[in-house]
Chain A
Amino acid sequence: MSTPTKEAAEPASKIDMKESGGGGEVPSFEITLQVRRYDPEFSDEARWDEWKLTMYGTDRVLDALHKVKWNIDGSLTFRRSCAHGVCGSDAMRINGRNRLACKVLLKDLDTSKPIMVEPIKGLPVEKDLIVDMEPFFQSYREIMPFMVNNSPAPTAERLQSPEDRERFDDTTKCILCAACTSSCPVFWTDGQYFGPAAIVNAHRFIFDSRDDAGDMRLEVLNDKEGVWRCRTTFNCTDACPRGIEVTKAIQEVKRAVLSRSM
């Protein structure tokens, strides 16, 4: 985190180039895409639809979904926005694992078998791959996801050492995509559980040296639907598209509950 004191040496004006890597011809390949469809306006039954598609080297699952929506069946419905893994819109179950559709390259999947895409679990399905996110954001709001600082604000910035800043760096990366929460078996069976994402966002403030409301958040999370429901299955850590060590963050919150209540 801290600024290195040593400036990098000025790079050379000219270097010998190896045959350049990256890019190049992108071979095409065939895939079978299966998507779980559901639209209660027309049928109470969910179903699987299947398409055979020709895709290219750098194409992602999102590109395959777009290919269907734009060229074959405009009613296929899913959320997406940034298309490169930072907005958190397109979390879905891809071959049984929670992923962002815009971050999974098709060539990295086993294309000899159908690629199966379903909505994330544990939240009510609204249509095709779209779920109701409101319960997810409700849990988020309950852990007070904002900085509380009771001391008078200085005229300049509040100081924070690079080490104190590093303490909560991992959990600042959360994009609220719900991949972790909807991968959690406890959340599937108990929708009241706060879920990993809310705890991650509590962690981000509990371990921020500038924040004064850690005890209040820990009290919220000491609830029977709080951190103690976690069974450390690590599904959440595996699911996080931002590489956050979610289970570790939950463990740290558990330890903080214990140490502060004593």
Chain B
Amino acid sequence: MQVHKYDVVIVGAGGAGMRAAIESGQRAHTAVLTKLYPTRSHTGAAQGGMCAALANVEEDNWEWHTFDTVKGGDYLVDQDAAEVMAKEAIDAVLDLEKMGLPFNRTPEGKIDQRRFGGHTRDHGKAAVRRACYAADRTGHMILQTLYQNCVKHNVEFYNEYYVLDLLTVEEEVTREDGSTYMQKKTAGVVSYDLANGEIHVFQAKSVVFATGGLGKIFKTTSNAHTLTADGMALAYRAGIPLEDMEFVQFHPTGLAGLGILLSEAARGEGAILRNSEGERFMERYAPTIKDLAPRDIVARSMANEVREGRGAGPNKDYVLLDLTHLEPAHIDAKLPDITEFARTYLGVEPYTEPVPVFPTCHYAMGGVPTNVKSEVLQDNDTVVPGLFAAGEVACVSVHGSNRLGTNSLLDINVFGKRAGLAAAEYAATAEFVDIPENPTEFTENQLNAMRASTGGERTATLRTELQETMDANMQVFRSEETIKEALAVIADLRKRYKNVQIQDKGKRFNLDLLEAVELGFLLDMAEVMTVAALHRKESRGGHYREDFPDRDDENFMLHSMMYLDPESSTDGTNGIRADTKPVVFTRYEPMERKY
């Protein structure tokens, strides 16, 4: 066991992690631990843009952006956080430009902007051009620019270091009224060096989780193979609740059968969706902004077209994204990558043929609860000193029950920066917390048991069964029946997981072992997500219950908070305690959500 000591340890080197590192690295002794190389993170797969009310091409302001974010999230957004994000969006874009990001430009040389789903002028009157972009590679440019600036500032990276445990200690604290509670404090993390299998302990005053999402819980997903819910699962196992985990975004336009993302920018640039009858069906579902309605609405509309028999293709199981009325030169200039994906992976020529598409698991709205300073909360309002989270792993909550397109690239920049600043500021005055005794015991026991197991279960088999049940039962349409079906499968898989056997017995680059560990994260988070979905007996944003098709503000205008608790059970699942947290309102009263 090797022990390292840093003021700040950042876990994850995607957009949020590197944005944090640029701030923290200039102020405190900082290390970034990443299970990949930094530029491999899935921020690089984001395509369409990053919204900010620059008003470079038409009238706009951050208040409209706040409203759109709140309404887009079906009013489950914490409005104070949405306001912070929309206000700071402008500086976040300008920061990136000054760091060198090559945005597309207007004829006057300003940053160009385009339309995106759910982003509107004056509270829903019409689509507005708010998304700053670099062709359909905005995420790639953000990831490269942030890495370039990490190089510039000599940020210290530990590449291919998997974080497998979060080290916290607890002490009893007495409140003013005499009652007591257990206050968590951050001590550091336990990490596994992929190159040689060695275990490292990183003691840190501040730990920033920026580990991304959980897309691999589902079979059809736009997410990378490596998005396995690591940070959420580690926080949860350390006794930190998870907020709003039932809300998963299914992006409308995944390449049919593959799930590869085709940016909403296609529709922002004028592409439309059609069913097998050639009908532009979004005119029926969202008469005002049609194909540029938010993603939950478009995804559900598509799935409904297929369900009602108007799907295209030999199995009538997808709809069509039609770009054929757009000029090829316009497509080449604005959407070069996604049209290449259609050609490469489906052999479809988007100039002349509509592209088969179907919703694909894209984004977790929920995650580790934080306040607007990116500080992690151990309950509804108690901060865990020294623990921060930003990006998809976190839930601030700026996305509520449905994230608007482009707001994730914004989230990672605004709250990644805040997390980096807050982590460095905390470390400037805080003392190191003593590492608990035997800090690597849990990790070593887990890994040794997996290496020694002769149980005969294969990681890939269990993972495939999980992904298939989640696609079948927990996608855009859910009901008590389908959710319980998923829960039964998950319970069975969790038992079988104890018998997972790996074949690679070596120390070097043992990805066989790590995939087995990652499956454990996926199973834990699938269970939490599914229990949360069963508990929420209403339909809101990305969570649609066929048995409760309406939004129910009276009973469910609340964030869900799921705790690991061996003493409890929720709706028949042992070990999970369900609680709620009030939504923060500032200026917007909930209204019916129409587009």
Interface positions of A (Cβ within 8 A of B): 1-4, 8-9, 11-17, 20-25, 39-42, 58, 69-71, 73-75, 77, 79-89, 103, 105, 126-128, 130, 133, 137, 140-141, 145-147, 149, 153, 156-162, 164-165, 168-169, 172-176, 205, 208, 210-211
Measured CA separation A176–B39 after assembly (Å): 8
Knowing A3-B112, A22-B356, A157-B97, the reply to whether A87 touches B45 (Cβ < 8 A) is yes
A-B contact pairs, 23 of them (CB 8 A): A3-B106, A11-B280, A15-B322, A17-B277, A22-B347, A24-B313, A69-B511, A69-B512, A74-B502, A77-B504, A82-B45, A84-B261, A85-B341, A126-B508, A126-B509, A127-B509, A141-B151, A145-B151, A149-B98, A153-B98, A159-B108, A159-B110, A162-B109
Interface positions of B (Cβ within 8 A of A): 36-37, 39-42, 44-45, 57, 93-94, 97-100, 102-112, 134, 137, 140-141, 144, 148-149, 151-152, 195, 224-226, 256-258, 260-261, 270, 272, 274, 276-280, 283, 312-314, 318, 320, 322, 325-327, 330, 333, 337, 341, 344-348, 353-356, 458-460, 502-512
Knowing A84-B341, A159-B108, the reply to whether A20 touches B356 (Cβ < 8 A) is yes
B312–A3 CB distance below 8 A: no
Contact of B36 among A12, A20, A89 (CB under 8 A): A89
Q: Which residues on A sit within 8 Å (CB–CB) of B140? A: 86, 173, 175
Contact of A87 among B44, B333, B356, B510 (CB under 8 A): B44
Measured CA separation A80–B225 after assembly (Å): 7
A23–B330 CB distance below 8 A: no
Measured CA separation A14–B283 after assembly (Å): 10
Measured CA separation A61–B44 after assembly (Å): 22
Q: Shortest Cβ distance from B284 into chain A, in angstroms?
A: 10
Measured CA separation A21–B351 after assembly (Å): 13
Task: Name which residue of chain A comes closest to B502, CB basis.
Answer: A74
Contact of B94 among A75, A89, A157 (CB under 8 A): A157
Measured CA separation A133–B94 after assembly (Å): 32
Measured CA separation A16–B279 after assembly (Å): 9
Measured CA separation A158–B436 after assembly (Å): 50
Knowing A70-B460, A75-B503, the reply to whether A1 touches B345 (Cβ < 8 A) is no
Interchain Cβ contacts within 8 Å, total number: 224
B345–A58 CB distance below 8 A: yes
Q: Which residues on B sit within 8 Å (CB–CB) of A21? A: 348, 353-354
Q: Shortest Cβ distance from B32 into chain A, in angstroms?
A: 14
B224–A87 CB distance below 8 A: yes
Knowing A17-B278, A69-B512, A146-B100, the reply to whether A22 touches B105 (Cβ < 8 A) is no
Q: Which residues on B sit within 8 Å (CB–CB) of A175? A: 39, 44, 140
Q: Shortest Cβ distance from B142 into chain A, in angstroms?
A: 12
From B40, B258, B503, name the one whose CB has the most chain A CB atoms within 10 angstroms.
Answer: B40
Q: Which residues on A sit within 8 Å (CB–CB) of B272? A: 11
A77–B511 CB distance below 8 A: yes
Measured CA separation A21–B347 after assembly (Å): 9
Contact of A70 among B277, B341, B459 (CB under 8 A): B459
B107–A2 CB distance below 8 A: yes
B256–A14 CB distance below 8 A: no
Contact of A9 among B100, B325, B459 (CB under 8 A): B325
Knowing A158-B97, A210-B100, the reply to whether A71 touches B506 (Cβ < 8 A) is no
B509–A147 CB distance below 8 A: no
A162–B107 CB distance below 8 A: yes
B260–A84 CB distance below 8 A: yes
Task: Name which residue of chain A comes closest to B513, CB basis.
Answer: A74
Q: Which residues on A sit within 8 Å (CB–CB) of B134? A: 172
Q: Which residues on B sit within 8 Å (CB–CB) of A211? A: 100
Contact of A74 among B103, B144, B503, B509 (CB under 8 A): B503
Measured CA separation A126–B225 after assembly (Å): 21
B226–A146 CB distance below 8 A: no
Q: Which residues on B sit within 8 Å (CB–CB) of A84? A: 45, 260-261, 341, 345
Q: Shortest Cβ distance from B220 into chain A, in angstroms?
A: 13
Knowing A8-B326, A81-B226, A89-B36, the reply to whether A1 touches B100 (Cβ < 8 A) is no
Q: Shortest Cβ distance from B558 into chain A, in angstroms?
A: 35
Q: Shortest Cβ distance from A131 into chain B, in angstroms?
A: 11
Measured CA separation A82–B151 after assembly (Å): 23
Contact of B508 among A20, A39, A145, A169 (CB under 8 A): A39
Measured CA separation A158–B99 after assembly (Å): 11
A146–B151 CB distance below 8 A: yes
Q: Which residues on B sit within 8 Å (CB–CB) of A74? A: 459, 502-504, 512
Known: A17-B274, A41-B506. 15 other contacts (CB 8 A): A8-B270, A23-B346, A40-B508, A77-B511, A87-B40, A141-B151, A146-B100, A160-B109, A161-B107, A162-B105, A165-B103, A172-B137, A173-B140, A175-B44, A176-B39
From B102, B107, B256, name the one whose CB has the most chain A CB atoms within 10 angstroms.
Answer: B102
Knowing A87-B45, A126-B195, A208-B100, the reply to whether A25 touches B314 (Cβ < 8 A) is yes
Task: Name which residue of chain B comes closest to A145, CB basis.
Answer: B148
Contact of A20 among B106, B276, B510 (CB under 8 A): B276
Knowing A20-B312, A74-B503, the reply to whether A158 touches B40 (Cβ < 8 A) is no
Measured CA separation A83–B258 after assembly (Å): 10
Measured CA separation A27–B346 after assembly (Å): 14
Q: Which residues on A sit within 8 Å (CB–CB) of B322? A: 11, 15
Q: Shortest Cβ distance from B498 into chain A, in angstroms?
A: 18
Contact of B258 among A11, A14, A58, A160 (CB under 8 A): A58
Q: Shortest Cβ distance from B117 into chain A, in angstroms?
A: 17
Q: Which residues on A sit within 8 Å (CB–CB) of B511? A: 69, 77
A-B residue pairs, 9 tightest by C-beta: A147-B100, A70-B460, A74-B503, A159-B109, A75-B504, A74-B512, A146-B152, A146-B148, A22-B348
A165–B105 CB distance below 8 A: yes
Measured CA separation A211–B110 after assembly (Å): 17
Q: Which residues on A sit within 8 Å (CB–CB) of B278? A: 14-17
Measured CA separation A14–B111 after assembly (Å): 35
Q: Which residues on A sit within 8 Å (CB–CB) of B141? A: 172
Measured CA separation A39–B326 after assembly (Å): 52
Q: Shortest Cβ distance from A87 into chain B, in angstroms?
A: 4
Q: Shortest Cβ distance from A42 into chain B, in angstroms?
A: 7
Measured CA separation A28–B506 after assembly (Å): 34
Measured CA separation A3–B106 after assembly (Å): 6
Q: Shortest Cβ distance from A76 into chain B, in angstroms?
A: 9
Measured CA separation A83–B506 after assembly (Å): 25
Measured CA separation A4–B503 after assembly (Å): 56
Measured CA separation A16–B354 after assembly (Å): 12
Q: Shortest Cβ distance from B291 into chain A, in angstroms?
A: 9
Task: Name which residue of chain A comes closest to B148, CB basis.
Answer: A146
B318–A23 CB distance below 8 A: yes
Measured CA separation A153–B95 after assembly (Å): 10
Q: Which residues on B sit within 8 Å (CB–CB) of A13? A: 279-280, 283
A165–B42 CB distance below 8 A: no
A157–B106 CB distance below 8 A: no
B105–A89 CB distance below 8 A: no
A12–B280 CB distance below 8 A: yes
A161–B39 CB distance below 8 A: no
Q: Which residues on A sit within 8 Å (CB–CB) of B109? A: 159-162, 164
A24–B314 CB distance below 8 A: yes
